[in-house]
Copies of this chain bind each other. A is one copy, B any other.
Amino acid sequence: MAHTLGELARHIGAELQGDPSCLIRAVAGLQQAGPGDVSFLAHTRYLKHLATTRASAVILDAAHRAHCRVSALVVENPLLSYARAAALLHPEAMPAPGIHPSAAVGAGCRIHASASVGAQCVVEQGVEIGADAVIGPACVIGRDCVIGEGSRLLAQVTLCHGTRIGKRTLIHPGAVIGSDGFGLAPDRGAWVKIPQLGGVRIGDDVEIGANTTIDRGALEDTVIEDGVKLDNQIQIAHNVRIGAHTAIAACTGVAGSARIGKRCQIGGGAGIAGHIEITDDVIITGMAMVTKSITRPGVYSSGMPAQENALWHRQVVRLRQLDGIAERLKNLENRLQEK
């Protein structure tokens, strides 16, 4: 999928410094690139490799154009422009439209002629699949699900009954969407299951990572708004709402009925308590334990960074003494006050 440098510059809106007829075939890192490759400089950490790169061209910002000895594609946001160049040069292989003969498709489905349903899939009754949608191999689509135009489920994805997926949404292997929320009523030392009667609504342009799970609501829907990006092995409990364009890194858990605002960024391995609200534009760092609502944008953190085991042991001991330390300090202050 080769393009001239001129075409590439136009596609990503770059100012070209170099020969527009040069043919570009692939993207590559500054150190690995060779003739025919375009590379990019998105972090000064890699500036040292710019001088020696063998790439035919480099995407970079105006501040670094002077350091570039090969052709330059000058843009405002090199990472973003690189993403667009990579998508142009390396288009994803799409399966042919149609339903694989090994797929089991139930009654009353409406599957667009341009959509693809892969081998070993199970599509239960009443499912609706939009134009250009791709259901990869071995997916299970429960009854009455709706999958919007251009959305793709890559492999082994499970959508439980009634799940609604928007347009151009991408779901990675092993994800489970619409499983029952964890709703239990105590009954004399045992638990009675509370039927989970809500559903899950996923917006447009959402990405959902491998083995991530999103539970259906207890009565109303769990909602993932447009443009949300979820990494692998995330757990979203019932009745959670995640605001548009929020990104969450892997292994984070969001407990029931939590509401997360728009454009938030949540690090990996974080935990968000149930029934709390996080406002828009909040950044939460990795492994943080969020126990209360956050009402102001900003960066929030918790956790103890790892250190040598012996030091950690002493710290843990001191932590247990901390209440006593505070009391003893107060005593000293009082005694000095008296003098």
Which stretch from A2-10, A17-25, A107-115, A175-183 is at the chain B interface?
A175-183
- Shortest CB distance A319–B (Å): 6
Is A209 touching B179 in the complex (CB atoms < 8 A)? Answer: yes
Cα–Cα distance between A101 and B151 once the two chains are bound (Å): 29
- Within A56-75, the residues touching B (CB, 8 Å) are none
**B251, A253: Cβ atoms closer than 8 Å:** yes
A231 is an interface residue with CB less than 8 A from chain B = yes
Is A49 engaged at the interface, CB distance under 8 Å to the other chain? no
Interface residues of A in 258-311 (CB under 8 A from B): 263, 268-269, 271, 273, 283-292, 294, 298-309, 311
A47 at interface, CB cutoff 8 A? no
Distance in angstroms from A165 CB to nearest chain B CB is: 16
Say if the beta carbon of A51 comes within 8 Å of chain B. no
A138 — which chain B residues lie within 8 A by C-beta?
120, 122, 138, 140, 158
Contact B333 A220 (CB under 8 A): no
Q: Is the beta-carbon distance between B253 and A250 smaller than 8 angstroms?
A: yes
- The chain B residue sitting closest to A104, CB to CB, is B119
Given contacts A28-B219, A291-B305, A301-B313, 18 further A-B pairs with CB under 8 A are A82-B194, A124-B137, A140-B155, A154-B179, A179-B232, A182-B250, A235-B250, A235-B251, A250-B253, A253-B269, A284-B306, A292-B305, A301-B306, A302-B306, A311-B323, A315-B323, A318-B322, A325-B329
Chain B residues whose C-beta falls within 8 Å of the C-beta of A247 in the assembled complex: 184, 191
A132 in the interface (beta carbon within 8 A)? no
A93 at the interface (CB under 8 A from B): yes
From A327, which residue of chain B is reached at the shortest CB distance? B318
Contact partner of A329 (CB less than 8 A), chosen from B104, B304, B329, is B329
- How many A residues are at the interface, by size bracket? 35 or more
- Is A94 close to B, CB under 8 A? no
Do A322 and B329 have beta carbons less than 8 Å apart? no
Looking at the complex, which one of B155, B183, B213 makes contact with A233 (CB distance below 8 Å)? Answer: B213
Please judge, given known A-B contacts A119-B104, A219-B27, whether A176 and B173 are in contact too, CB under 8 Å.
Answer: yes
Which of A233, A294, A314 has the most B CB atoms < 10 Å from its CB? A233
Chain B residues closer than 8 Å to A333, beta-carbon distance: 328, 332
- A319-B290 contact, Cβ under 8 Å, with A120-B120, A176-B173: no
A118 adjacent to chain B (CB < 8 Å): yes
Encode contact with B along A232-245: 1 for CB under 8 Å, 0 otherwise. 11010100000001
